[in-house]
């Protein structure tokens, strides 16, 4: 699956232009890092890619077709978005994993089995967490990883991550960085990740961009 | 006499309500006499178009009042509230006057207009409560709604729990009234009938009918308006349209 932004601009109602003339293409299997200061529009850039928002002008193409031509619920299942603040549904960790499968758009998609859930929990180094644990009582770092797994269980082809490490301590940050890189390298999931922090990638086929007002510029080194 | 007593009380306790009391009393007389003459005119003519016009006028002002009471700048409320009140009352009025009371024709103004007035008054409160709650819950739960949308939910699925809570909130005053009627207070309509010489058991039968009619119309009206307004809070692409 490929996402392409062509000359995209965004302006929220009654506010100044957030950005304009943005061009970006995410190729299948690629890991794109977008860095930039707070308030520059990083989250909005992601939200355009799964159609939580509409661009003010320009075109967004998914596999060469305009984003608006896709059925939106199925589009969002294929392009998973993990929010900056991990939101847990009241209930157990397993309730949270099962949450996406109550929706009509899931269609014939089977509820993931215990093995699959456990495999992802191992991948994200959640050994100390049980499926029956109260999700609301987990640490922020654990919630962040549960939120990632919940999105991954839907089998997205692309993962959009909004500041996944901003609220984490150094140890949790390294775990999430490593897990996301493994997702990309070992499972072939394309990733677009926005952050205002440094983000370490060693193995992934990645490109880094710096988002500034009215400009998205490819850079060769991490901006911290 | 009663107003004079209240006025003297206001003077004694320096409440400065004398002018308001006098003005309120004059308005009560003027407004009710005016309504009385208009109703007499409509009752005498028995023209269905005039009945509908009168009813539409009442709903127009009720919908205007709700739009003013629920402070919401992102969604226009007049049309949904107007439509929901028309539909809910038409259904209930047709059943009550046509099927239960077997009034012929079913739009007979003596029945249609006063029942409509009571329903509109109750619906106004229920709809205001429900809409206030809808907007506050949608904003408060926006992250959870967005989470569900991101995982492939439609806006209906993402806000199903909120919708149910909102309709319940709108219904609570009507249900409370069912629980407390006759215990805490005697309803105004029943008291008025008894004072005008109607047998208490007859007045009670009408009161029960009115209470159940109010619950039904409140439920229908609230459910319709909340569904329409919720739709307006989202775009066709299931994006939240509230700021």
Count interface pairs A-B at CB distance under 8 A: 62
**So what's the pLDDT on residue A111?**
85
Residue A47 near residue A80 (C-beta atoms within 8 A): no
pLDDT band per the 50, 70, 90 thresholds, residue B124: confident
Average pLDDT estimate for B116-144: 91
Q: Does residue A224 or residue B57 have the better pLDDT?
A: B57
Q: What is the pLDDT of residue B237?
A: 95
Give dist(CA B243, CA A53) in Å, integer. Answer: 12
Backbone angles phi, psi at A56, to 5 degrees: -70, -40
Of B112, B134, B129, B97, which is closest to residue B58 (Cα–Cα)?
B112
Higher-pLDDT residue of B192, A82: A82
Tokens at residue B140, please?
Answer: 């408060």
Note the pLDDT of residue A221.
Answer: 58
Which secondary-structure segment (H or E) carries A83? none
Integer Rg of chain A from CA? 17
Query: Is B143 an interface residue toward A (CB < 8 Å)?
Result: yes
Res B97: pLDDT: 80
- The number of C-alpha atoms within 13 Å of A8 and in the hemisphere containing its C-beta is 25
B144 touches chain A (CB under 8 A): yes
Give B126's contacts (C-beta < 8 A, 6+ positions apart). Answer: B170, B171, B173, B174, B218, B221, B222
Given a cut of 90, whether residue B179 has pLDDT beyond it is: no
Does B152 contact A106 at a Cβ distance shorter than 8 Å?
yes
pLDDT at A89: 94
- Averaged pLDDT for residues B10-30: 86
Q: Specify the pairing of strand A3-11 against strand A57-62.
A: antiparallel
* Torsion, Cα of A36, A40, A43, A46 (10° steps): -80
Cβ pair A53:B239 closer than 8 A: yes
Residues belonging to chain A: 224
Question: Is the preceding omega at residue B90 within 30 degrees of 0, hence cis?
Answer: no
Q: How confident is the model at residue B13 (pLDDT cuts 50, 70, 90)?
A: confident
Q: How far is B166 from chain A (nearest CA, A)?
A: 20
Query: Does the pLDDT at position B184 exceed 80?
Result: no
| Cβ–Cβ < 8 Å for A120, A159 | no
Greatest C-alpha distance within chain B: 68
Confidence (pLDDT) at A24: 92
Residue B181 backbone dihedrals phi, psi, to 5 degrees: -60, 135
Kindly state the percentage of chain B with pLDDT values over 70.
Answer: 100
Residues of B in contact with A97 (CB under 8 A): none
**C-alpha–C-alpha distance, residues A34 and A16, integer Å:** 21
Whether A9 and A19 have beta carbons less than 8 Å apart is answered as yes
**8 Å CB contact between A149 and A176:** no
Q: CA-nearest residue of chain A to B159?
A: A103
Q: Residue B142's pLDDT is what?
A: 94
* Cβ contact, residue pair B152, A100, below 8 Å: yes
> A3-219: CATH homologous superfamily?
P-loop containing nucleotide triphosphate hydrolases (3.40.50.300)
**A150/chain B closest Cα distance in angstroms:** 9
The chain-wide mean pLDDT, for chain A, equals 89
Q: Is the distance from CB of B217 to CB of B210 less than 8 angstroms?
A: no
The rounded distance, in Å, linking the Cα atoms of A104 and A117 is 21
C-alpha to C-alpha distance for B112 and A209, rounded to whole angstroms: 68
The SS3 call for residue A160 is strand
8 Å CB contact between B126 and B222: yes
pLDDT one-digit tens code per residue, A39-83: 889 999 999 999 999 999 999 999 999 999 999 999 999 999 999
Q: Take residue B57 and report the two structure tokens written for it.
A: 């006028």
Task: Note the pLDDT of residue A16.
Answer: 83
CA geometry: angle B116, B117, B120, nearest 5 deg = 80
Cβ(B7)–Cβ(B21) below 8 Å = yes
Q: How far is B81 from chain A, CA to nearest CA, in Å?
A: 26
Answer whether A72 touches B (CB < 8 Å).
yes
Please report, in tens digits, the pLDDT of each residue of chain A (224 residues total): 899 999 999 988 878 888 888 999 999 999 999 998 888 899 999 999 999 999 999 999 999 999 999 999 999 999 999 998 999 999 999 999 999 998 887 666 788 889 999 989 988 888 889 999 999 999 988 999 999 999 999 999 999 999 988 878 888 888 888 889 988 998 899 999 999 888 877 777 789 999 987 788 888 755 44
Q: Maximum distance among all alpha carbons in chain A?
A: 49
Residue B161 has pLDDT above 80, yes or no: yes
- Residue B199 touches chain A, beta carbons under 8 Å: no
Residue A107: its pLDDT value, please?
A: 67
Cα B15 to chain centroid distance, Å, stands at: 32
Using DSSP, state whether B154 is helix, strand or coil: coil
Model pLDDT, residue B33:
92
Question: Which ranges in B70-108 belong to alpha helices (H)?
Answer: 78-93
Contacts of B243 in chain A (CB under 8 A): 13
- CB B147 to CB A77 under 8 A? no
pLDDT of residue B138: 96
Look at residues A101, A136, A105 and name the one whose alpha carbon lies nearest to residue A117: A101
Q: Give the residue from chain B lying closest to A74, CA to CA.
A: B152
Interface of B with A in 146-175 (CB under 8 A): 146-154, 157
């Amino acid at each position: 699956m490929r996402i392409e932004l062509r000359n995209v601009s965004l302006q929220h109602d009654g506010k100044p232009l957030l950005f304009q003339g943005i061009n970006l293409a995410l190729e299948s299997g690629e890991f794109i890092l977008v860095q930039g200061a707070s308030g520059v529009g990083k989250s909005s850039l992601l939200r355009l890619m799964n159609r939580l928002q509409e661009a003010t002008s320009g075109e967004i193409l998914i596999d060469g077709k305009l984003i608006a031509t896709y059925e939106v619920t199925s589009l969002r299942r294929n392009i998973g978005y993990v929010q900056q603040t991990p939101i847990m549904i009241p209930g157990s960790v397993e309730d949270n994993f099962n949450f996406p499968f109550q929706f009509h758009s899931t269609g014939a998609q089977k509820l993931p089995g215990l093995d699959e859930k456990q495999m992802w929990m191992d991948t994200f180094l959640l050994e100390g967490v049980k499926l029956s644990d109260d999700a609301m009582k987990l640490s922020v770092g654990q919630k962040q990883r549960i939120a990632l797994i919940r999105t991954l269980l839907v089998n997205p082809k692309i993962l959009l991550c909004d500041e996944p490490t901003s609220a984490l301590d150094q140890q949790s940050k390294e775990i999430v960085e490593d897990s996301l890189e493994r997702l990309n390298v070992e499972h072939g999931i394309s990733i677009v990740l926005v952050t205002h922090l440094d983000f370490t990638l060693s193995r992934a086929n990645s490109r880094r961009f710096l988002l500034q007002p009215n400009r998205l510029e490819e850079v060769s080194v991490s901006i911290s | 006499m009663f107003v004079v007593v209240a006025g003297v009380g206001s003077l004694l306790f320096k409440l400065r309500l004398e002018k308001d009391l006098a003005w309120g009393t004059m308005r009560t007389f003027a407004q009710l006499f005016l309504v009385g003459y208009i109703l007499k005119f409509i009752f005498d003519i028995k023209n269905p178009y005039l009945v509908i016009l009168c009813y539409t006028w009442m709903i127009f002002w009720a919908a205007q009042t709700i739009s003013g009471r629920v402070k919401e700048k992102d969604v226009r409320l007049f049309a949904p509230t107007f439509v929901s009140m028309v539909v809910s009352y038409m259904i209930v009025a047709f059943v009550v006057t046509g099927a239960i009371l077997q009034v012929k024709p079913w739009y007979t103004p003596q029945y249609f207009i006063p029942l409509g007035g009571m329903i509109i008054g109750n619906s106004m409160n229920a709809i205001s409560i429900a809409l206030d709650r809808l907007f506050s819950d949608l904003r408060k739960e926006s992250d959870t709604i967005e989470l569900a949308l991101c995982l492939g939910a439609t806006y209906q699925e993402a806000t199903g729990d909120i919708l149910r809570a909102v309709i319940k909130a709108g219904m609570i005053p009507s249900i409370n009234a069912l629980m407390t009627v006759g215990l805490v207070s005697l309803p105004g309509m029943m008291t008025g009938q008894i004072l005008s010489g109607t047998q208490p058991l007859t007045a009670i039968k009408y009161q029960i009918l009115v209470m159940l009619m109010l619950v039904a119309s409140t439920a229908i009206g609230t459910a319709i308006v909340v569904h329409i307004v919720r739709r307006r809070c989202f775009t066709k692409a299931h994006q939240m349209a509230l700021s």
